Structures are given as structure tokens and as C-alpha cells.
Structure 1
Amino acid sequence: MSDNASHIYFNRWFSVAYHYMNMMRDNDEGARFRFYGTHPNIDHLALQACDYAEQEPVLEGTAYVDYAVDFCRKHEIDIFIPRLKMLEIAKEAHRFDDIGTKLMICRDVDLLESVMEKDLFYRKLEGTGIVPLPDYEVVETAEQFKAAYEKLVGLGHRVCFKPTNAEGGMGFRIIDEQIDPLASLYGWVSLSTTFEQAYAALSSAEKFPKLMVMELLEEDEFSIDCLADANGKLLVAVPRRKGAGRVYTLEDLPELQQIARNVAGKFNIPYVYNIQVKYNKGVPKLLEINPRMSGGLFLTCLGGVNMPYLATKAVKGEAFEAPRPTYGVRASYMELPVVLNPIGRTDRN
């Protein structure tokens, strides 16, 4: 490029993309970047790390891909790192290839489709031995919900449920028969509900969007942040324990490293991705796999591995040694004020 900087585009990301852009800038090799971002909310914090930002239109399907291709062509984007519409973009990846924009994305459309519908992904994993799965049932009616709940309780489990296509904790609820309705009105908003409350709500519809009714995993939760090359060869996996009070610890646990190797060997996901597991009765069981940078990756990188920057090298086909993280790092985070700069600024060097 004429400004000797790689042009990187983030579309509608989480606010943590603010950290990832700055981590790429703060690389120890002197590589230069110019960051571009779009989001429907022009005051979104991710855009505050951008050299250029604009308001993103709300579009669906091919119309959105058209917008992204035009944006990449107009701004001579070298690497596009999508979060929104990953599946649609992967399906039309050739359009970005044609204009010289590299994608930091998994191009396995079948895998992306299954990952985005958790029941499909669980079925893909059943019987493979890649990673233990929680006991679960998929339901679409109140009577199916009742039968699934009774079956899981009969197996000795506490029970939770969530939509099959939810991202993060959206729609997640724990069934708890010990709820005191009056006390709950005076306490914090809770993720818990009774079976009768859930059953009554679900009975209001003849059929509802699919829910996974699952064994509640009650022990430690880990996110395993993974860095791979363009072919999906695993270079490093860093497990991050989620503790109480926003405290996270990087831990090198053999069974979690083996899960990361198993997932990489089966699916060959490129660049940066995340495996979430939670223990129950001493067994780490799968929550989900996110084929993108995780929301907590900036904490994992405190172990000395700049995954966002190294992923850009992988996208460009540049060789580098597999990094060695430092384990035992304990970290947390806090809110800090950010003065909002105007849209479309170009004042960064």
C-alpha cells in the first residue's frame, strides 16, 4: 500500500476489538497497520481504535456481502476480520479473493453452519471422542420440554436450557426449584427459573424455536484460546480459567490441551478460535466452539502471546515460531472512561 501499512477491517465486532486493534499496533516487529471499522452504532467503542470508521447499514444475506466487498474495495483492505455474517461471507469468500482482500475466517461452510446451531454441532461430535458432551435433549414443544427435564433429573442432573442458536449467555436459564419468589424481587436479577415458570411460558406457544435442555455443568469453566496457521495446524492453545469476581488464570492442563489438539485435528479451524468447556464431576464438557477471536482473548494474551498480531502473519502466509505462553498469570479488568472521537477520523499516524 502507498502508506506502507496493512489495511485491516473489523465489521460489527464486540467492544473488545478495541483491544485487539491496539495489540496489533503494539507488536514487537514494527509492523504498521491502519484499521477500518463499521458498526450500526457509530458510538460503539470498537470504532474508537479505528483510523477510519463509518456507520454500517442493517442488511441481510448477499446485500450485506455486497456492502462488505464494496467497503474492502474502496479502502483497499488487505485483511478483513469479520464477526457479523461470518457464514454469509464464507459462502462468498471468492469475491474477496478476487479483489485481493484476505479473510481471517474459517471457510468450511458446513462447519460454520453446524457451529452456529449448537444441536447440529453436538450431533457432529457425538461418538467421536473429541470432547466430552453434556447430556442434552432438543425440544420444540412444552411437552417435549417436560419430558426432557424429567429425563435429565432422573439421571441425577440439575438442569438448564438455552436456544440452540444463541450467542454467549443469551437465553440461558437454570431450573431451580428452591427459588423464593419474594426474595428474588429484592435481589439481583437471576438466571434461575422454576420448572413451572418455564413450562407455563413455553406452553403459551404450540411450537417454539429449538431449545437445548441440558445437564447443568457446575464446576470450573475454561476458555481455550487457540492459534493456528492458515491450514488449521494448531500452534498454541492457552486455557483460561474463569474465576469469581472477574479473576482469570492461565493454566496448562493436560486434558484441555488434548481437547484442543483433538478439535484441531478434526476441524482444522484456521487463525484464532476459542473452545469453551465447563467441568462437572471432574470431567470437562463442551459448551461451544467459537470460530473467531473470543471476548476474553485480551486476557489470555497477557501470557505473552499476541494472538491477534500473529494471526495477521498467518493470514499473510508469513512464517513464525510457535509461541510459548507463560502460565500462572492471574488477571482481571475494570471499566475505564473513553472520550469519543468523531466518526471517520484520519488523524492517527
Structure 2
Amino acid sequence: MTTRIYMNRWFSVAYHYINMIRNNPDGERFEFFGTHPDINHMSLVAADHAGTEPALLGREYAEFCADYCKRNEIDLFIPRLHMEEISRYAHLFDEIGTKVMVCRDIALLDAMVEKDKFYEALEGKELVAIPDYRVVNTAAQFKQAYEELISAGHRVCFKPTKSEGGMGFRIIDNERDALKELYGYVTLSTSFQQAFDTLSRTERFDDLMVMELLSGTEYSIDCVATADGELITAIPRRKSTGRTYLLEDEPELLDIASRIAKSLRIPYAFNIQVRYSGGVPKLLEINPRMSGGLYITCLSGVNMPYLAVQALQGKRIEPPAPRFGIQAGYVEQPLIMKQ
């Protein structure tokens, strides 16, 4: 029997995840379907069937995905784009017998997408330390937040409350040499005055989080849980220099993953990002999906995408024994797309 899996608009790393699931240790057979607005996107290269998807929002997008699943007799749907909308209309997939790898706690999912709401939701739960932050939407509020954080002894950064990856993230650095930067690499830094002048051009802007800059070691903790949120495995991945990562057995971080799993009950694959400050790991964000660097974590010997698929299928999974102490990196690999 072959299980049909559909992945909608994903990152290019879906190429790795498809192949990991396909090359699973149990010899289970899978057939992959993928859609993306760009038919030449690298996420589609490993799929058996590729198609384009329209620019839709809300229920219309969920209906497009449900119709695609129905027409192609999809067994499992692993979404990335518009996960919150797909969760909101999950009944459309239940009606056609397609299992969806998505958190069905809509309030929790919405909060994880908007970082300030998520920080608020975690207050008082004692799961993980939260950075000092303020939410602003006017230039005057931005100035006040910046001054308060500086007075508290912090370096300062800011980012949109609703963004993915590093989009919109900036570090405030008032010692920048603008001329020198013109001859150097693109930087994430800006001065307070530049940011303030730009934000002052409009009466009100989309919410920004102005927060303490965490300057210590950064970790991603890749996790897999059952449909009920029972943690199966968690593997910390430390960002080192350049493209180098270390897979480390860090009890403090594993405890954080365990506490978050027990409290929030996030199902299937999710990723916790923390960064140290003064010896304390503080939360950056939690992504309720497979992370962009999960394929590196899988060098631990644990096929995490396949574990997540097994969890979605409702299979009993024995907790794996990951190998730690691994240093890893990545390089580009050319792929023939058509011939």
C-alpha cells in the first residue's frame, strides 16, 4: 500500500524532508504531491507530482487545499503556508478522510504566529525565560521603548510581531560607519535615529517588538510529539560559526522542551528557538512545523520527518536514541530539474 502525501507551499528544504520520508527505515511506500506558485521551485523537485497554486487567503485557500486533496486522494497533508487558516477549517479535510499535520488549538497556533501574543500567553507558566520587550506602533512609543530598554542595561533590537525567520529583524547600533558598510556585507544593523526617522514618516505602523538583544549562544530544539502532544524526542542544535552546527545533549534545553510539550501539547513536528543571555536561555520563538534546519538535526540518526508522519498516522513510536556530539554543516548541491 502506498500512502499519498501532499505538501503545499514549502521552503526549498522540503526536498530533503520528502527524501527522508521516502527513504524510511521501515520500507514504507509514499507518493508525494506538491504545489507552489512557482512551478520551478526547488521544494517541488523531489515530489512525484508538482502543480501551481493560486494566491488565495482564508477559507478560499483552505478550500483549494481540501479540493486538491480530494481530487488526488491524499492521505496525509503536511502544510506550511497558511497553517492557521488550514487549522481553522480542518473539518474540510476530516470530511474527505485526509489527516493534516497541524496544531488544532487555534488560539495557540494564532499566538505562535504573532510573537507578542505568544509571550503574553507564556507569562506565569515558568516554562522558559522571556526576553524584556515592548510592543509599539508609533514612533513615540518606539523611542520610549528604546530608552527604557537602554536604561535597563540592554542592547536593543526590533522585529515585526508577525514575521517568519529573520524577516524585519534589525539590531540598533549607534556606532555604525555608514561609509564603511557600503563597501562591506549587507548588515542587519541600523542606528536608533535612522529607525526613528523612518518610523516617523507614518502616524501608525504595524506592530513591532522592541526587545533586548540576546547576544549569547543560539539553539534550535527540534521536537516531534504525538497527536496528543506527548513528546517523543527533542534534539538541541547549536548554531556555531558560519554554516557549522553542533548537536548537543543539553539537559537544561531538553527540560525546556519537556516543559513546553507538557504544557502546550503541540502535536507532530515543532521547533523551539532560544538564545542565551547572562547564562539564561531565553525564548525567541516556537515554530509549529518542521524547521528549516531539521535536515541537519537528522544527522543524529533520527529520521524526524518520518517520525512526524508516523505520529500523524497514529502509529506507536518508540522514543529514538539520537547521537549527540556531532558537528555538522551544509554545502550547495546542484540538481538537474529537467532534461
The bucket for the TM-score relative to the shorter chain is over 0.9
Task: Determine the structure 1 residue equivalent to 2:244.
Answer: 247
Task: Determine the structure 1 residue equivalent to 2:152.
Answer: 155
Task: Determine the structure 2 residue equivalent to 1:259.
Answer: 256
Contact 1:223 1:240 in 2 (8 A): yes
Q: 1:245-297 deviations in whole A, cap 9, x for unaligned?
A: 11011111111011101110111011110000001111100000000000000
CA separation in 1, counterparts of 2:160 and 2:314?
38
Report whether the alignment pairs 1:216 with 2:193. no
Report whether the alignment pairs 1:48 with 2:45. yes
Residue of 288, 296, 303 corresponding to 2:300: 303
Partner SS, residue 20 of structure 1 = helix
Question: Where in structure 2 are there 5+ consecutive unaligned residues?
Answer: none
Partner SS, residue 35 of structure 1 = strand
Contact 1:48 1:341 in 2 (8 A): no
1:176-191 to 2 correspondences below 5 Å = 176-191=173-188
Task: Determine the structure 2 residue equivalent to 1:203.
Answer: 200
CA separation in 2, counterparts of 1:265 and 1:204?
45
Deviation at 1:320, TM superposition (A): 2.1
Partner SS, residue 78 of structure 2 = strand
Report whether the alignment pairs 1:319 with 2:316. yes
Task: Determine the structure 1 residue equivalent to 2:136.
Answer: 139
**Runs of 4 or more off by more than 6 Å in structure 1?**
none
Q: TM-score, normalised by structure 2?
A: 0.99
The one-letter code sitting in structure 1 at the alignment partner of 2:5 is I
The one-letter code sitting in structure 2 at the alignment partner of 1:106 is C
Number of residue pairs the alignment of both structures matches: 339
Task: Determine the structure 1 residue equivalent to 2:5.
Answer: 8
Percent identity of the aligned residues?
A: 58
Partner SS, residue 302 of structure 2 = coil
Partner SS, residue 162 of structure 1 = strand
Partner SS, residue 197 of structure 1 = helix
Partner SS, residue 285 of structure 1 = strand
CA separation in 2, counterparts of 1:255 and 1:173?
28
Report whether the alignment pairs 1:269 with 2:257. no
Partner SS, residue 283 of structure 2 = strand
CA separation in 1, counterparts of 2:104 and 2:124?
25
Task: Determine the structure 1 residue equivalent to 2:278.
Answer: 281
Task: Determine the structure 1 residue equivalent to 2:231.
Answer: 234
Residue of 321, 325, 339 corresponding to 1:328: 325
Deviation at 1:127, TM superposition (A): 2.0
Task: Determine the structure 1 residue equivalent to 2:27.
Answer: 30
Partner SS, residue 274 of structure 1 = strand
Report whether the alignment pairs 1:129 with 2:126. yes
Residue of 194, 204, 229 corresponding to 2:191: 194
Residue of 164, 167, 174 corresponding to 2:164: 167
Partner SS, residue 222 of structure 2 = strand
CA separation in 2, counterparts of 1:139 and 1:67?
36
Note closer, same or farther for the CA distance 1:310–1:222 as it changes in structure 2 (3 Å cut). same
Contact 2:63 2:92 in 1 (8 A): no
CA separation in 1, counterparts of 2:268 and 2:105?
13
The one-letter code sitting in structure 1 at the alignment partner of 2:70 is R
Task: Determine the structure 1 residue equivalent to 2:65.
Answer: 68
Deviation at 1:302, TM superposition (A): 0.5
Task: Determine the structure 2 residue equivalent to 1:104.
Answer: 101
Contact 1:228 1:270 in 2 (8 A): yes
RMSD: 0.8
Deviation at 1:341, TM superposition (A): 3.1
The one-letter code sitting in structure 1 at the alignment partner of 2:272 is I
